[in-house]
Amino acid sequence: PDLHAPAHGSAPILVASNRGPLSFTVEDDGALSLRRGGGGLVSGLSAIDDPDAVWVCAALTEGDRTAARQAPSGRLDRAGHDTGGQHIRMLEIDPGTFARAYNGIANSTLWFVHHLLYNTPVQPDFDDRFRKEWVSYEAYNTAFADALAEEAAPGAAVLVQDYHLTLVPELLRERRPDLRIGHFSHTPWAPPEYYRMLPDDVAGDVLTGILGADRAGFLTRRWAEAFADCCVSVLGAAVERPAGGDLLVTHRGRTTRLGVHGLGADADFLRERSHRADVESRLAALREAVGDRRVVVRVDRTELSKNIVRGLLAYRHLLRTRPEWHDRVVHVAFAYPSRHDLPEYREYTAAVQRVAKEINDEFGTERWQPLMLHVQDDFPRSLAAYRLADVALVNPIRDGMNLVAKEIPVVSDHGCALVLSREAGAHAELGEDAITVNPYDVIATAEALHQALTMPTADRTDRCKRLAAAATALPPQQWFLDQLHALG
């Protein structure tokens, strides 16, 4: 080691997340091509004009690993890549360690726990394979903590994102007690009786990991309360609930503040982006396909928690019980590929496709295709469907927020009705003007679709205006700045 190297870096603001804002693909000729991603965090970070802010993320693809390896200390911007002016450090983590941490612990164990996805008579089974995955998750979190400790200027603010990085706050505090550390959960948080399925040491380590932060952020009060309940149940921590203020959790003499920041849709971006030529051409094609029929739209990752199969069954029930809709409605369902390394996701995708086919076989006619399912990711086509929607269907089993529920009312051309699961975080803000459903109740969801399809136009457009206003109350840039300011 260089004994003269400073024990800190120069970044006053840092963000850490598993998935970064860009990704590389190795082309056939061996060259790297770069693709920029979107999402709340990417737009949020654009609010920061500090030229020295650094984003630390993991190398996810073979192309990412190549790019990270070629860049000095994994700093892509220093290797001349067009990072859009951002300083990005991509961590090359041994592929086996990464797979065990990401697929095994993050996306199987923690995601399943927080979204209540286990089929409990057979899952989970915390065996020696799980233990190996957990050791990898610790190593992966340690790699992030080390990189952040290296990049951060004295007293810097560090914003750590999501369930992939729950151990980072505590690990980073051990390395750099001078830093101001925030953690943000983009998922729901499990209630204690479900959370305590985790082995006791793991359940405790995840909580104390996050409590290493000065502030732990959540998308709704409900998830913050659940986190606090778990701290009491697992750690015996003390919780204060000052009237009208943030929850405070005290454990081993340190207090962590729980903040609630309901990430909103990015209205300016969406309105501009949804009127570009690539969206217009897709909208024309969709219009041609659906004709003058009513349109029910859903757009999701093919994700177990999104409840796509029950949504399709509800649509089938609608067509079975209300034949007046035959040839008068089309369901446009986009279910984009996600996490296909996990067998549960591959099976779920197959189930979605099977039910979709059954519906078209049962009701389709020469002139009418009742369901249009697309599984190829296409963002401009999603926006075109948002514009066309008469009804938006968002029925997750459980969801941290669900931005689609917030985006469709902002973009829809003639005011859509929203059928919304009461288990989506967005329901806390949109519930009053949405039609609320219990996501497990297929018949009630079918009824809600009928109600949405028959809602009088004036009512629908009024509600949609209020939905759009609520959905955009906290734009991503402000969401991000609020968290930064709250760190002091």
39-to-20, 42, 167, 200, 458 alpha-carbon distances in Å: 10, 6, 24, 34, 32
Closest distance to ligand G6P from the beta carbon of 60 (Å): 8
Q: Which CB sits closer to ligand G6P, 162 or 429?
A: 162
Residues 144 to 163: which contact ligand G6P by CB under 6 A? 162
Quote the CA–CA distance of 288 and 285 in Å, as a whole number.
5
Q: Which CB sits closer to ligand G6P, 239 or 428?
A: 428
Residues 162-181, one symbol each (x = binds ligand G6P by CB under 6 A, - = not), give x-------------------
Residues 408 to 447: which contact ligand G6P by CB under 6 A? none
Closest distance to ligand G6P from the beta carbon of 336 (Å): 10
User: Which positions ≥6 away from 298 have C-beta within 8 Å?
Assistant: 308, 311, 331, 332, 333, 334, 335, 392, 393, 394, 395, 404
Closest distance to ligand G6P from the beta carbon of 257 (Å): 21
Q: Which CB sits closer to ligand G6P, 74 or 188?
A: 188
In the set 75, 176, 257, 339, which binds ligand G6P (CB under 6 A)? Answer: 339
Q: Are 295 and 391 in contact (CB under 8 A)?
A: yes
CA pseudo-torsion sign 158, 56, 264, 400: negative
Closest distance to ligand G6P from the beta carbon of 375 (Å): 15
Q: Are 99 and 139 in contact (CB under 8 A)?
A: no
Q: Which CB sits closer to ligand G6P, 186 or 257?
A: 186
Quote the CA–CA distance of 161 and 182 in Å, as a whole number.
8
Residues 107 to 136: which contact ligand G6P by CB under 6 A? 107
Burial class (CB in 10 A: 0-12, 13-18, 19+), 309: middle
Facing residues of 183 across strands? 160, 216
Interaction between residue 89 and ligand G6P (CB under 6 A): no
Q: Which CB sits closer to ligand G6P, 186 or 427?
A: 186
Quote the CA–CA distance of 461 and 478 in Å, as a whole number.
27
Closest distance to ligand G6P from the beta carbon of 88 (Å): 16
Closest distance to ligand G6P from the beta carbon of 40 (Å): 9
Q: Which CB sits closer to ligand G6P, 15 or 446?
A: 15
Quote the CA–CA distance of 282 and 340 in Å, as a whole number.
27
Residues 186-205, one symbol each (x = binds ligand G6P by CB under 6 A, - = not), give xx------------------
Q: Which CB sits closer to ligand G6P, 18 or 317?
A: 18
Q: Which CB sits closer to ligand G6P, 304 or 388?
A: 304
Closest distance to ligand G6P from the beta carbon of 403 (Å): 9
Closest distance to ligand G6P from the beta carbon of 286 (Å): 25
CA pseudo-torsion sign 210, 212, 213, 216: positive
- Taking CB atoms within 8 Å and a gap of at least 24, the contacts of 33-41 are 33/63, 34/81, 34/82, 36/84, 38/379, 40/263, 40/266, 40/403, 40/476, 40/479, 41/15, 41/17, 41/161, 41/476, 41/480
Interaction between residue 19 and ligand G6P (CB under 6 A): yes
Residues 263 to 322: which contact ligand G6P by CB under 6 A? none
Nearest to 274 by CA among 391, 465, 411: 411
With CB under 6 A as the rule, give the number of residues binding ligand G6P: 7
The residue nearest ligand G6P at its CB is 186
Closest distance to ligand G6P from the beta carbon of 161 (Å): 7
Q: Which CB sits closer to ligand G6P, 270 or 449?
A: 270
Nearest to 224 by CA among 212, 210, 234: 210
Quote the CA–CA distance of 152 and 487 in Å, as a whole number.
15
Nearest to 309 by CA among 365, 347, 361: 347
Q: Which CB sits closer to ligand G6P, 115 or 173?
A: 115
Q: Which CB sits closer to ligand G6P, 162 or 266?
A: 162
Q: How many CB atoms lie within 10 A of CB 439?
A: 24
Closest distance to ligand G6P from the beta carbon of 165 (Å): 10
Burial 178-199 (b: 16+ CB within 10 A, else e): ebbbbbbbbbbbbbbebbebbe
Closest distance to ligand G6P from the beta carbon of 107 (Å): 6
Closest distance to ligand G6P from the beta carbon of 191 (Å): 19
Q: Which CB sits closer to ligand G6P, 87 or 306?
A: 306
Quote the CA–CA distance of 137 and 165 in Å, as a whole number.
9
Site residues (vs ligand G6P, CB under 6 A): 19, 107, 162, 186-187, 338-339
